[in-house]
Amino acid sequence: MIKTLVLLEVGLAAAIFLLAAAQYLGLSQARREGRTQNISRLVTYGTLMALTVIYAVGNLIWLGSAPSPEDMSQVENLPTVNWTFLIIAVMIGILAAWDLVTHIRFVLTSLPHYKPRLMTALAMVLLMILLVGLNLARWEIYLDDIQSTYIESIPGSSA
């Protein structure tokens, strides 16, 4: 179950990466053609791509090295929240939400060529919400597995 959730998270991170990469490439081409001077969106999409790669690779490394519920020596100091990945996910979410807000503003000011970008930004935010939800669900399942194993290892306790 944990492996499936991690792979789903990696897939969602890859989808966010691809959406950000498409926006980055389109913006880079527009800059080369002189249609825009915007640098902040390039930085935003570049940062989104970097963070999603860090998130995905980190999750894959975690999957291979996470303490197993059977090895209690490694899980004694296990945090109750998976801050390492949650912080990165929140940073990705903030960038995606900021991008969405700016595109909404442009669409509301009657710039119709921003509508496809708005849809892409909305898709990134929705994928990000799913990503955080999966992360929280995975960590809860993982901690439940560890807790049940820990309780079973105490003599005289009933689970």
Name the nearest CA neighbour of 142 among 13, 6, 14.
Answer: 6
Q: How far apart are CA 46 and CA 101, in angstroms?
A: 18
CB contact at 8 A, 100 and 118: yes
Model pLDDT, residue 96: 87
- Provide block-wise average pLDDT over 10 residues at a time, the chain (159 residues): 88 94 90 84 90 90 72 57 78 87 81 77 89 86 75 56
